[in-house]
A and B are shown apart, each in its own frame.
Chain A
Amino acid sequence: GAVVSQHPSRVICKSGTSVKIECRSLDFQATTMFWYRQFPKKSLMLMATSNEGSKATYEQGVEKDKFLINHASLTLSTLTVTSAHPEDSSFYICSARYDRGFYEQYFGPGTRLTVT
């Protein structure tokens, strides 16, 4: 089956620094990738949708300058949290989709970000 990886799985950073999270589709070409954010005991909230080679589409209320998304290739998307603050601490999950046939989404294992 399709596998999506995320790196790192956990990261702790200090306030004011930036952190990059990678999302890779390991055995298929991901035409579209999605980034979700999940607060404790809450549902997944879609942050943005990215297509390879074009700018990401952000959901309402998500700061595009704070959450930089780059979908540089068909197997890699990155989310950079810039000038992180404690309120950015969250569980970030990416998913990847191959836009043919059934258009199935495959989820990564998630990245736990803690900003101190």
Chain B
Amino acid sequence: ELKVEQNPLFLSMQEGKNYTIYCNYSTTSDRLYWYRQDPGKSLESLFVLLSNGAVKQEGRLMASLDTKARLSTLHITAAVHDLSATYFCAVHGSGTASKLTFGTGTRLQVTL
């Protein structure tokens, strides 16, 4: 059974600081997603990472994937208040018709 762990679960950081959220998974996967969720809302897709060494960046967020270590990171650069949200990684099992398994989520609070 695929297990996905994120840490930290909660992150409070000041504006302007950098930080990294980690996502570990237990078995082989063919892709990994990062999503953002605002309170009371559904998921917003941020990144999909397909291969070992994949790196994607959008604004102050950068995601990377190490399939050998079964680890993905979401790096936040110079955080701003608007980035406050909960971030989930989700791992797709091997095979195109597999389902997604979500991590525990990281609640990010960026303070002024």
What residues make up the interface of A, taking CB atoms closer than 8 Å to B?
32, 34, 41-46, 49, 93, 99, 102-103, 105, 107-110, 112
**Which of these binds chain A: B35-43, B59-67, B75-83?**
B35-43
- From known contacts A34-B99, A99-B97, A103-B97, infer whether A109 and B104 are also in contact, taking CB-CB under 8 Å: no
Cβ-defined contact, B107 with A43, below 8 A = no
A107 with B43: in contact, given A43-B88, A44-B88, A44-B102 (CB under 8 Å)? yes
Q: Name the prevailing secondary structure of the B interface residues.
A: loop
Separation in Å of the B7 CB from the closest CB of chain A?
13
With beta carbons under 8 angstroms apart, the residue of B42, B45, B96, B103 that contacts A110 is: B42
The answer to whether B105 touches A43, judged by C-beta atoms less than 8 angstroms apart, is: yes
B99 is contacted by which of A49, A99, A112 (Cβ under 8 Å)?
Answer: A49
Residue contact A112 to B40, C-beta cutoff 8 Å: yes
Residue of B whose beta carbon sits closest to that of A101: B96
Q: How far is the CA of A43 from the CA of B3 in the complex (A)?
A: 13
Contact mask for chain B residues 20-59; partner A; CB cutoff 8 A; 1 contact, 0 none: 0000000000000000000011110100000000000000
Q: How many of chain B's residues have a CB under 8 angstroms from any CB in A? A: 16
Closest 5 CB pairs of A and B: A110-B42, A103-B96, A107-B43, A109-B42, A44-B102
17 interchain pairs, CB-CB under 8 A:
A32-B97, A34-B99, A34-B100, A42-B105, A43-B102, A46-B99, A46-B101, A49-B99, A93-B42, A103-B97, A105-B100, A107-B42, A107-B43, A107-B45, A109-B41, A110-B41, A110-B42
Contact indicator B105/A108 (Cβ below 8 Å): no
- Which chain B residues lie closer than 8 Å to A42 at the CB level? 104-105
Alpha-carbon separation in the docked complex, A54 to B29 (Å): 27
Across the interface, name the chain A residue whose C-beta is closest to B31: A102
